[in-house]
């Protein structure tokens, strides 16, 4: 039995007092000093891990004012505050051992869009893609780009002065900031915009912090103009943070925003911003060039700039290969064909053109491609290219490019690519020579790495692979960083080219030289006691205030190495999460993490759950627990022998006894096991897998709820219940029984078992079971048109008519259909951590399916989630050989010719596919199969973008999840289902999705094959 974890790093008294004082004020947000929230926010995407004392979630500008005002009270002088947005910093920008002020959770409203004057006003926590989605109907967009655009906030972008692809055309974030509403540390709310000298003088005369800040900044600028000019490099990616070089704008006006932008939360909280927005270019295109070497692509890119593109990005083969092995490749592979006789692609250049005049754009591209044709085959030139027209297609390639940054963090083995010198910038003309030396430096330490860059801006992305758990390798951070700083200086560039400084602020004094003390004076004017994100960018001139050092901040590796290697291996699915935050995707129409979207609590995300498991493993290890052995004991131990102890522990839990196990458990129970993380996370973090292991261990200590046994046993009970469904159905429909079930068992809205059984329907149709005898009787020439339907409990017993409809359709199309005898699939057991029972079910099922497979007849499953279990959970532990059970569309698409023969005379309709999340993410190519199947019958099918429906097997039926399940449904499904324009057009592949729509909107969605059957019947 796993032990209780009572010993945790508790919150310091000063912070508990601060939090208490905050609660006693009129603070409207939440305050969370719980260990789980602290652990989850102790990392960003960097190599560092710093445990905060707590997290606060302000709801309004007033909350920020209260917080800042309280912090300057003398009793709270030691309190430090660090603002946090999406937490996607690569260098510890938002990490703190003080209090995190998470602005992203509540302050994420778009306040005003003025399309006519082309500006918007937003709160600091608005996500960049969220803003652009809102602007799209107006034909406008917020131009600064970054790879993390689906989770990074405007506050974070402003504070790191973010930019990325297209920066040569559109500049950096601060180029689009019109006005900032900031909260200074004394609680002053201040709006900053360019000021005339008269206005500046008036403000300077004020006798408060605002006056002080303006006086100091203006004085530093006036007195050190030449030094500022000499120190700030003239790069496209000019220096961020305390940007004195731009304190006076082109019109000579004083603009405090150039100091605030890029300040990494070290000067003020950005509550709101007024931003400049631009018209979306009407036309866009990409020329995708292939090269035999990365150096060639880099050098050529510099020449290609002469052809006047909007941007050029170069990607190396390593990154390309990572993309090729990811779900993202499916959408772009046609643009990078590996044709016969061509060399292997070792580098690509993506040359972008945008504009409002189509003819002009095409003429530019024609000029470029004429040139490319003329140099084809010459050394160092492209050996082939494709052209992509139109925003939709171009965005797919940029999507791949954006994801590549995250993919760069992926790899195999213990050495993983990590960020610390990942965003250097040098003048573009120096880039190729600089990269040569950079590579030599990495090669001299035998480090593997992938590279890509914004060649037009001279920015290079690279993440060397280092095992930070290995003490011997840890020192490489210093060696490589110092080497790269020297190189960037040699080539007149910067180590902080794009992602901000964070812990790397250590290099600021060396870079700024005699100007650095002036920056310290500025910091002192805003934050005299060094309370705002201390150690980053700059320190005030006070005793004890020091910049962080790249090798003195605790790293994740130092914590992770405390976990024994066997435990790390067992939970490797959690260990390798690198915190890039792709799972914080804001888009409600994207499958990624419904539990995070519905709760906006980061502990309910894949990253949150991974972080908690890592800490849980560490704390277990500190108690000398062999967690792998505990798992095995839990699997094979006696239920009765451990019962008294579990009763006692559960009773103590009810009495409020603290145990970190319970915090981890709470986060795991919020997971829908939808597996979107498995497919969409660049590192393929598999939460359902480690969640299952954790639950197994957890319930060796605590009692399981009754519902778990019901859910786990459902597949076993249902064949018996279905023989006499009336009593079960009566119970489930009876109001008193419903409330008893809801309250005492923890299950609600259980569906009724079908009264027309599958066996009866098969008998009526003369459809046989796939027994050895029946299979042996099939003549070899009939096998290609025979198929075995592999049953699942949900469709066979709760949607029997669907199974019969599918049988009818297949027979109508000319197939010989057999049905595999029903056997529990085991997925619900896996979800709830009944590992031993799952293994039994999987072994038994595999055995049966293997024997059926030996007939050579294709096997297909109807429900995507249950069917994908055969290729995922069944083989994940390496204990079973794979059996091929295809999704029905994967198999049927190979027989479109048969379908096509039935197309004549059918009416033509348009349908919309509401695909199941696991199908969309884990078998993405099969969505195109559905389209082809419909096309074969002359029908149109388009994929309707939606997130999760909120049901996910039995999740939505569990009493404690009902509210979240509904919230998830409302995020993207409800609107589509209730849109009158979609009447009769929607089809859904998942049993869960159909039952959720029936339960919440009282509509019966059809399976795609059911509508095809109806068409054939009515023809
Ligand atoms: C895979 C990957 C790819 C990336 N690609 C790019 C890229 O292409 N271009 C680029 O520029 N960056 C990139 N980054 C870095 C990162 O995404 C950006 O720095 C981003 O702007 C951070 O936004 P955030 O909301 O996550 O901020 P956080 O990481 O939460 O915070 C960043 C800094 O801003 C401060 N801050 C946040 N909100 C506020 C506020 N309201 N008031 C005051 N201070 C605040 C924090 O204290 C911190 O110092 C990448 C990161 C990753 C992991
Ligand atoms: S779970 Fe995956 S997507 Fe989320 S932070 Fe970790 S590595 Fe990134
Ligand atoms: S399985 Fe689904 S709900 Fe659970 S962590 Fe992964 S994406 Fe989130």
How far is it, in rounded angstroms, from Cα 145 to Cα 535?
27
**Pairing mode, strands 177-183 and 30-32:** unpaired
**Is any ligand 2 atom within 6 A of the Cβ of residue 132?**
no
Atom 2, ligand 3: which residue's CA is nearest?
A: 674
> Poorest-confidence range of 183-197, 425-439, 829-843?
425-439
**Is any ligand 2 atom within 6 A of the Cβ of residue 453?**
no
Distance from residue 164's CA to the centre of ligand 1 (Å): 12
How far is it, in rounded angstroms, from Cα 512 to Cα 519?
9
User: Is residue 42 very low, low, confident or very high in pLDDT (cuts 50, 70, 90)?
Assistant: very high
User: Is residue 531 very low, low, confident or very high in pLDDT (cuts 50, 70, 90)?
Assistant: very high
Question: Please, which residues bridge with residue 486 across strands?
Answer: none
What share of the chain in percent tops pLDDT 70? Answer: 99
How far is it, in rounded angstroms, from Cα 467 to Cα 456?
32
Q: Which ligand is nearest to the CA of 605?
A: 3
Distance from residue 941's CA to the centre of ligand 1 (Å): 39
* pLDDT at site 637: 84
* pLDDT at site 329: 85
Average pLDDT over residues 602-611: 97
**Is any ligand 3 atom within 6 A of the Cβ of residue 676?**
yes
Distance from residue 672's CA to the centre of ligand 2 (Å): 17
Q: Which ligand is nearest to the CA of 953?
A: 3
Residue 604 in tokens: 């309910």
Chain-centroid distance, C-alpha 640: 42
* pLDDT at site 164: 84
Average pLDDT over residues 744-757: 90
Quick check: 401 pLDDT over 90? no
How far is it, in rounded angstroms, from Cα 913 to Cα 106?
33
* pLDDT at site 237: 60
* pLDDT at site 322: 83
pLDDT tens for 869-889 read 999 999 988 888 889 999 999
Residue 624 in tokens: 């000398």
How far is it, in rounded angstroms, from Cα 371 to Cα 361?
16
pLDDT tens for 434-479 read 998 999 999 999 999 888 788 888 888 899 999 999 999 999 999 9
* pLDDT at site 302: 79
Q: Are 241 and 133 in contact, with CB atoms under 8 Å apart?
A: no
Average pLDDT over residues 819-846: 95
**Pairing mode, strands 384-389 and 424-425:** unpaired
Please identify which residue in the block is written with the tokens 């020297």. 486
Atom 6, ligand 3: which residue's CA is nearest?
A: 677
Mean pLDDT (the chain, rounded) = 93
Q: How many CB atoms lie within 10 A of CB 901?
A: 12
* pLDDT at site 238: 64
User: Is residue 943 very low, low, confident or very high in pLDDT (cuts 50, 70, 90)?
Assistant: very high
Quick check: 236 pLDDT over 70? no
Alpha helices in 882-959 (DSSP H): 888-892, 896-900, 917-922, 925-936
Distance from residue 156's CA to the centre of ligand 1 (Å): 4
Give the list of residues 6+ apart from residue 9 with CB closer than 8 angstroms, or none: 35, 51
Q: Which atom of ligand 1 is nearest to the CA of 84?
A: 30
Q: Which atom of ligand 2 is nearest to the CA of 582?
A: 3
Distance from residue 689's CA to the centre of ligand 2 (Å): 15
CA triple 57-103-549, angle to 5 deg: 105
pLDDT tens for 50-70 read 999 999 999 999 999 999 999
* pLDDT at site 857: 96
**Is any ligand 2 atom within 6 A of the Cβ of residue 417?**
no
* pLDDT at site 343: 87
Q: How many CB atoms lie within 10 A of CB 564?
A: 17
**Is any ligand 2 atom within 6 A of the Cβ of residue 676?**
no
CA triple 162-167-173, angle to 5 deg: 35
Chain-centroid distance, C-alpha 992: 23
How far is it, in rounded angstroms, from Cα 817 to Cα 836?
33
Distance from residue 157's CA to the centre of ligand 1 (Å): 5
653-692 b/e (C-beta count within 10 Å ≥ 16 → b)? beeeeebbbbbbbebbbbbbbbbbbbbbbbbbbbbbbbbb
pLDDT tens for 674-683 read 999 998 898 8
* pLDDT at site 235: 67
**Is any ligand 3 atom within 6 A of the Cβ of residue 593?**
yes
**Protein residues with CB under 6 Å of any ligand 1 atom:** 44-45, 82-90, 93-94, 103, 124, 146-148, 152-153, 155-157, 159-160, 162-164, 264-265, 269-270, 405-406, 498-500, 533, 580
**Is any ligand 3 atom within 6 A of the Cβ of residue 70?**
no
Q: Which atom of ligand 2 is nearest to the CA of 406?
A: 8
Residues in the chain, how many? 1019
How far is it, in rounded angstroms, from Cα 624 to Cα 629?
12
Q: Who has greater pLDDT, 234 or 788?
A: 788
Distance from residue 614's CA to the centre of ligand 2 (Å): 13
**Pairing mode, strands 910-914 and 986-988:** parallel
Q: Which ligand is nearest to the CA of 410?
A: 2
Q: Which atom of ligand 3 is nearest to the CA of 948?
A: 2
Residue 25 in tokens: 């004020």
Average pLDDT over residues 231-237: 71
Q: Are 879 and 838 in contact, with CB atoms under 8 Å apart?
A: no
Distance from residue 405's CA to the centre of ligand 3 (Å): 22
Quick check: 248 pLDDT over 70? yes
* pLDDT at site 74: 95
188-206 b/e (C-beta count within 10 Å ≥ 16 → b)? bbbebebbeeeebeebbee
Average pLDDT over residues 849-874: 96
pLDDT tens for 167-206 read 888 889 999 999 999 999 989 999 999 999 999 999 999 9
**Is any ligand 2 atom within 6 A of the Cβ of residue 606?**
yes
pLDDT tens for 101-146 read 999 999 999 999 999 999 999 999 999 999 999 999 999 999 999 9
**Is any ligand 2 atom within 6 A of the Cβ of residue 610?**
yes
Distance from residue 41's CA to the centre of ligand 2 (Å): 13
Distance from residue 646's CA to the centre of ligand 3 (Å): 28
Please identify which residue in the block is written with the tokens 């803003």. 131
> Poorest-confidence range of 36-40, 228-232, 285-289, 989-993?
228-232
Indicate the top mutation candidate among 403, 577, 591, 602 to test ligand 2's pocket, ranked by most ligand atoms within 8 A of CB.
577
Residue 323's SS3 state is helix
Distance from residue 687's CA to the centre of ligand 3 (Å): 6
> 338: number of CA atoms within 13 Å, CB side?
11
Q: Which ligand is nearest to the CA of 667?
A: 3
Question: Please, which residues bridge with residue 921 across strands?
Answer: none
Distance from residue 583's CA to the centre of ligand 1 (Å): 15
Q: Residue 701: what are its φ and ψ, rounded to 5°?
A: -105, -35
Q: Which atom of ligand 2 is nearest to the CA of 609?
A: 1
Q: Which atom of ligand 1 is nearest to the CA of 165?
A: 8
Residue 958's SS3 state is strand
How far is it, in rounded angstroms, from Cα 995 to Cα 567?
39
* pLDDT at site 308: 86
What share of the chain in percent tops pLDDT 90? Answer: 79
User: Is residue 745 very low, low, confident or very high in pLDDT (cuts 50, 70, 90)?
Assistant: confident
Q: Who has greater pLDDT, 197 or 404?
A: 197
- Quote the longest CA-to-CA distance of the chain: 98
Distance from residue 678's CA to the centre of ligand 2 (Å): 10
How far, in Å, are 465, 592, 796 from residue 409 at the CA level? 8, 19, 43
Q: Which atom of ligand 1 is nearest to the CA of 406?
A: 1
How far is it, in rounded angstroms, from Cα 255 to Cα 276?
15
**Is any ligand 2 atom within 6 A of the Cβ of residue 365?**
no
**Is any ligand 2 atom within 6 A of the Cβ of residue 574?**
no
How far is it, in rounded angstroms, from Cα 362 to Cα 284?
10
Q: Are 168 and 236 in contact, with CB atoms under 8 Å apart?
A: yes
User: Is residue 340 very low, low, confident or very high in pLDDT (cuts 50, 70, 90)?
Assistant: confident
**Is any ligand 3 atom within 6 A of the Cβ of residue 675?**
yes
How does DSSP assign 356-411, residue by residue?
Answer: S-HHHHHHHHHHHHHHHHHHTTSTTS-SEEEEEESHHHHHHHHHHHHHHHHHTT--
Virtual CA dihedral for 554, 559, 562, 567, nearest 10 degrees? -160
CA triple 682-941-908, angle to 5 deg: 175
Q: Are 527 and 264 in contact, with CB atoms under 8 Å apart?
A: no
Distance from residue 417's CA to the centre of ligand 2 (Å): 14
User: Is residue 946 very low, low, confident or very high in pLDDT (cuts 50, 70, 90)?
Assistant: very high
How far is it, in rounded angstroms, from Cα 206 to Cα 204?
5
Q: Which ligand is nearest to the CA of 684?
A: 2
Quick check: 408 pLDDT over 80? no
**Is any ligand 2 atom within 6 A of the Cβ of residue 8?**
no
How far is it, in rounded angstroms, from Cα 176 to Cα 162?
11
**Is any ligand 2 atom within 6 A of the Cβ of residue 579?**
yes
Q: Are 938 and 849 in contact, with CB atoms under 8 Å apart?
A: no
Average pLDDT over residues 413-421: 90
pLDDT tens for 707-734 read 999 999 999 999 999 999 999 999 888 8
How far is it, in rounded angstroms, from Cα 780 to Cα 855?
9
Average pLDDT over residues 689-703: 96
Distance from residue 404's CA to the centre of ligand 2 (Å): 14
Chain-centroid distance, C-alpha 183: 30
**Pairing mode, strands 786-790 and 940-943:** unpaired
Average pLDDT over residues 836-848: 95
Phi-psi region of 709 (alpha: psi -120 to 50; beta: other; left: phi over 0): alpha
Indicate the top mutation candidate among 677, 865, 961 to test ligand 3's pocket, ranked by most ligand atoms within 8 A of CB.
677
How does DSSP assign 498-525, residue by residue?
Answer: SS--GGGGGGHHHHHGGGHHHHHHHHHH
Residue 731 in tokens: 């119970």
Residue 409 in tokens: 């963090």
Atom 2, ligand 2: which residue's CA is nearest?
A: 681
Q: How many CB atoms lie within 10 A of CB 1019?
A: 12
* pLDDT at site 670: 96
Distance from residue 96's CA to the centre of ligand 1 (Å): 15
Chain-centroid distance, C-alpha 806: 36
Q: Which ligand is nearest to the CA of 922?
A: 3
Closest to 323 (Cα-Cα) out of 400, 376, 385:
400
Distance from residue 969's CA to the centre of ligand 3 (Å): 15
pLDDT tens for 159-174 read 999 998 788 888 899 9
Residue 766's SS3 state is coil
How far is it, in rounded angstroms, from Cα 62 to Cα 29?
10
Q: Are 500 and 161 in contact, with CB atoms under 8 Å apart?
A: yes
How far is it, in rounded angstroms, from Cα 148 to Cα 501?
17
Distance from residue 598's CA to the centre of ligand 3 (Å): 12
Chain-centroid distance, C-alpha 443: 32
């Amino acid at each position: 039995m796993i032990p209780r974890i009572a010993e945790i790093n508790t919150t310091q008294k000063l912070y508990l007092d601060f939090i208490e004082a905050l609660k006693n004020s009129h603070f409207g947000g939440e305050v969370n000093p719980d260990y789980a929230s602290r652990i989850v926010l102790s990392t960003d995407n960097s190599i560092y891990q710093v445990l905060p004392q707590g997290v606060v979630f302000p709801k309004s500008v007033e909350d920020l004012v209260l917080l800042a005002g309280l912090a300057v009270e003398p009793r709270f002088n030691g309190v430090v505050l660090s603002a946090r947005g999406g937490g996607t910093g690569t260098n510890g920008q938002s990490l703190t051992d003080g209090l995190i002020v998470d602005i992203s959770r509540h302050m994420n409203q778009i306040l005003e869009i003025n399309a006519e004057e082309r500006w918007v006003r937003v709160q600091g926590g608005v996500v960049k893609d969220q803003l652009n989605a809102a602007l799209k109907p107006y034909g406008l967009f917020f131009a600064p780009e970054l790879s993390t655009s689906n989770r990074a906030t405007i506050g974070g972008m402003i504070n790191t002065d973010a930019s990325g692809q297209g920066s040569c055309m559109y500049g950096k974030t601060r180029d689009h900031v019109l006005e900032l509403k900031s909260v200074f540390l004394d609680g002053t709310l201040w709006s900053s915009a360019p000021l005339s000298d008269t206005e500046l003088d008036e403000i300077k005369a004020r006798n408060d912090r605002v006056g002080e800040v303006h006086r100091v900044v203006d004085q530093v600028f006036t007195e050190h103009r030449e030094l500022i000019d000499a120190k700030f490099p003239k790069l496209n990616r000019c220096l961020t943070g305390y940007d004195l070089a731009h304190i006076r704008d082109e019109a000579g006006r004083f603009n405090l925003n150039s100091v605030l932008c890029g300040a990494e939360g070290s000067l003020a909280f950005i509550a709101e911003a007024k931003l400049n927005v631009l018209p979306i270019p009407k036309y866009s295109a990409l020329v995708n060039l292939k090269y035999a070497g990365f150096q060639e692509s880099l050098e050529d890119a510099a020449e290609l700039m002469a052809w006047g593109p909007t941007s050029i990005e170069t990607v190396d083969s390593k990154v390309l290969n990572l993309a090729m092995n990811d779900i993202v490749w499916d959408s772009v592979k046609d643009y990078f064909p590996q044709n016969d006789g061509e060399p292997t692609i070792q580098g690509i250049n993506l040359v972008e053109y945008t504009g409002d005049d189509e003819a002009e754009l095409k003429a530019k591209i024609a000029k470029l491609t004429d040139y490319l044709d003329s140099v084809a085959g010459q050394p160092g030139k492209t050996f082939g290219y494709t052209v992509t027209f139109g925003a939709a297609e171009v965005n797919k390639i940029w999507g791949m490019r954006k994801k590549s940054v995250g993919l760069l963090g992926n790899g195999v083995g213990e050495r993983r690519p990590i960020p610390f010198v990942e965003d250097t910038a040098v003048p573009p003309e120096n880039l190729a020579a600089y990269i040569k030396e950079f590579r030599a430096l990495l090669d001299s330490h035998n480090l593997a790495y992938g590279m890509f860059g914004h060649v037009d801006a001279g920015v290079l992305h690279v993440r060397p692979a280092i095992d930070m758990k290995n003490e011997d390798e840890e020192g490489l951070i210093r060696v490589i960083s110092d080497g790269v700083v020297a190189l960037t200086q040699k080539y007149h560039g910067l180590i902080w080219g794009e992602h901000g400084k964070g812990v790397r602020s250590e290099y600021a004094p060396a870079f700024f030289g005699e100007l650095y003390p002036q920056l310290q004076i500025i910091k002192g004017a805003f934050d005299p006691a060094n309370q705002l994100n201390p150690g980053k960018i700059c320190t005030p001139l006070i005793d004890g205030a020091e910049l962080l050092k790249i090798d003195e901040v605790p790293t994740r590796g130092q914590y992770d190495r405390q976990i024994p290697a066997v435990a790390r291996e067992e939970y490797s699915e959690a260990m390798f999460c690198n915190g890039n935050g792709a799972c914080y995707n804001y888009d409600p129409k994207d499958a990624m993490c419904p539990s995070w979207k519905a709760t906006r609590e980061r502990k309910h995300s894949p990253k949150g759950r991974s972080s908690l498991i890592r800490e849980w493993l560490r704390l277990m290890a500190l108690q000398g627990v062999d967690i792998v052995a505990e798992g095995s004991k839990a699997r094979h131990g006696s239920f009765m022998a451990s019962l008294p102890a579990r009763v006692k522990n559960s009773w103590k839990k009810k009495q409020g006894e603290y145990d970190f196990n319970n915090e981890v458990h709470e986060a795991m129970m919020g997971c829908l096991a939808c597996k979107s993380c498995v497919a969409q996370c660049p590192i393929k973090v598999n939460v359902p897998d480690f969640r299952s292991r954790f639950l197994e261990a957890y319930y060796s200590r605590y009692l399981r709820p009754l519902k778990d046994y019901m859910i786990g046993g459902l597949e076993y009970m249902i064949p018996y219940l279905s023989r006499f469904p009336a009593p079960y159905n009566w119970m489930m429909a009876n109001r008193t029984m419903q409330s008893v079930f809801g309250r005492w068992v923890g299950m609600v809205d259980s569906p009724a078992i079908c009264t027309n059984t599958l066996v009866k329907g098969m008998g009526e149709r003369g459809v046989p079971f796939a027994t050895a005898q029946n299979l042996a009787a099939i003549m070899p020439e009939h096998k290609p048109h025979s198929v075995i339907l592999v049953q699942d409990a949900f469709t066979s017993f709760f949607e029997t008519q669907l199974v019969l409809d599918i049988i009818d359709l297949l027979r109508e199309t000319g197939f010989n259909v057999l049905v595999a005898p029903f056997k529990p699939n085991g997925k619900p057991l896996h979800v709830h951590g009944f590992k031993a029972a799952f293994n039994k079910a999987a072994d038994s099922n595999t055995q049966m399916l293997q024997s059926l497979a030996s007939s050579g007849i294709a096997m297909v499953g109807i429900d995507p989630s249950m069917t994908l279990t055969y290729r995922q959970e069944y083989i994940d532990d390496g204990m079973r050989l794979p059996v091929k059970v295809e999704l029905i569309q994967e198999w049927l698409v190979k027989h479109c010719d048969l379908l096509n023969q039935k197309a004549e005379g059918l009416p033509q309709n348009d349908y919309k596919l509401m695909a199941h999340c696991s199908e969309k993410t884990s078998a993405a190519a099969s969505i195109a199969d559905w389209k082809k199947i419909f096309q074969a019958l002359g029908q149109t099918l388009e994929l309707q973008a939606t997130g999760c429906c909120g049901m996910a097997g039995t999740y939505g039926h569990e009493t404690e999840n009902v509210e979240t399940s509904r919230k998830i449904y409302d995020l993207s499904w409800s609107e589509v289902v209730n849109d009158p324009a979609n009447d009769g057009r929607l089809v859904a592949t998942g049993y869960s999705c159909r039952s959720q729509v029936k339960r919440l909107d009282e509509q019966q969605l059809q399976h795609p094959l059911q509508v095809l059957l109806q068409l054939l019947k009515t023809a």
